[in-house]
Amino acid sequence: MPSIFLIETSQKREFDMINEPHKISVMHQYRLISLRICIYFMTFFFSLTLTCNAQITSLPSIEWSLLPPIPDLEGFAGMFAGIIDGKLIVAGGANFPNGYPWEGGQKNWSNRIFILDSKTSKNWRESKLRLPKSMAYGVSCTFNNRLICSGGETGPNKTLASSKPSCISDVFSIGFKEGQLHLLELPSLPQPIKDACGLRIESRLVIFGGIESPSANKASKEMWILDLENPEKSWIKGLAIPGSGRIQSIAASTMKELIVFGGIEIEKGADSLSLRKMPYLSEVWNYQPGEVFENGKWRRIHDMPIDLAASPGPAWNFSPSQIAIVGGVSSERHRLAQKGHQGWAHDIYLYDMILDKWDVLKNTIPGGNSRVTAPALVWGSDYVVISGEVSPGKRTPQVIRFSTEQGSKH
């Protein structure tokens, strides 16, 4: 039967072509036109997809330049920084003015405040106002034209031989009144915290991680939130991260969500002293707020291409969905001997929230200008990194700004 069927079908097709050539021709042309239309639309949408992806994944061209250096020979790590009335205000910090750690030098904490009036200013001014304590390693942001300073560490009481550095819970704001800087107290943190990360998301100051004591052998995994519009309501405890506690993570925010990059876990070392666990963390967590901000959820997203901590922060939102982490320290670099240390890597790490994808701009940070434990902020269209540590124990007074053709966003 099959062979007969094939013969009959073939004969019928031959008969149709002989007797109805016009019908076959029209049908054939119709099929060709339909095929061409399908190919056209497939090509169009494929090209459109490639174009969109190219736009999303296009890497920025990043330029840099120097602003006037902080008026201190050494510079500081862990300063507080913000923009008030269009001026860059920086305060506090810590350094080793009388010898590096391997030389037996002792750390010094600062209460000084400096003002850079504009990007075109030649020099900084030092304010007559002083911080209420010599302090460093806290979290800062700008809100309603005031610099908000929260937590950190203060040095030992120099009048007491047994005194040691301690973490603090102080929170206050700095602003101008009749041309002079002044301070206003805000509700203290529920616990002392240093080496946390944080930033402002709309009207909320969000702080994550850190330690309660310089000798702690466990880091916090908690999130604390202060509504700066209604500070009298005090701090609210947010949802703890599902991962481990950590210090010196890098905070960022995009689309009103918090992102926490990397950081360092703390464990108990010899003589009950705190010990940094190696390697550092490369994981990345995204906090998505609920209708009530603190009733949100955490989700883990794409790990960083390297274990990383203490990068200038908050990180740089150079486009609505793209974040740049400008330098930082990996455990491999931190293992190197302090004396003669060549400094941190000069790479910039780019994360795309839409594609959940990383790119690395190798050796983009100019030599000697990669630093850690430095405050960073957006000033106009520039991302500005203030002072910081360029190798273990060694600070820089230099202030560097980065810019891209895409511009910067808060």
Low-confidence ranges of the chain (pLDDT < 70): 1-58, 161-162, 271-273, 406-410
Model pLDDT, residue 83: 98
Query: Looking at the 3D structure of the chain, how many domains does it have?
Result: 1
- Domain membership of residue 32 (yes or no) is no
Angle at the Cα of 317 from the Cα atoms of 310 and 89, rounded to 5 degrees: 65
Chain centre to alpha carbon of residue 161: 39
pLDDT for res 319: 86
Residue 138, φ and ψ in degrees, nearest 5 = -100, -160
Q: For residue 163, what pLDDT is reported?
A: 83
Q: Is residue 14 part of a domain?
A: no
Q: Report if residue 8 sits inside a domain.
A: no
152 occurs within a structural domain: yes
Residue range of the domain that includes 289: 67-404
Which DSSP string do the residues of 217-260 spell out, in sequence order? SS----EEEEETTSGGG-EEE-PPPSS---BS-EEEEETTEEEE
- Is the pTM here over 0.95, yes or no? no
Beta bridge partners of 139: 150
Say if residues 89 and 82 touch (Cβ distance below 8 Å). yes
What is the separation of C-alpha 318 from the centre of its chain, rounded to a whole number of angstroms? Answer: 11
Q: Decide if 384 is inside a domain.
A: yes
**pLDDT value, residue 406:** 56
Amino acid (one-letter) located at 330: S
Position 44 in a domain:
no
Beta strands in 46-179 (DSSP E): 62-67, 80-84, 87-91, 94-95, 108-109, 113-116, 125-126, 135-136, 139-143, 146-154, 166-177
Q: What is the pLDDT of residues 252-308, one digit of tens each?
A: 998 899 999 999 999 887 766 678 999 999 999 999 999 999 999 999 999 999 999
**Domain for residue 61, yes or no?**
no
Peptide bond into 242 cis (omega under 30): no
Those residues with Cβ within 8 angstroms of residue 196's Cβ, 6 or more apart along the chain or in another chain: 138, 139, 151, 207, 208, 209, 210, 220, 247
Residue 9 within a domain: no
Residue 349: per-residue pLDDT: 97
The residue type at 210: G
CATH number, residue 232: 2.120.10.80
SS3 101: helix
Q: In the sheet that 348-352 helps form, which strands lie side by side, from edge to edge?
A: 316-319, 322-326, 348-352, 357-361
For residue 37, the model assigns a pLDDT of 54
Sole residue written with tokens 């360029």 = 390
Determine the Cα–Cα distance for residues 14 and 8; give it in Å rounded to an integer. Answer: 10
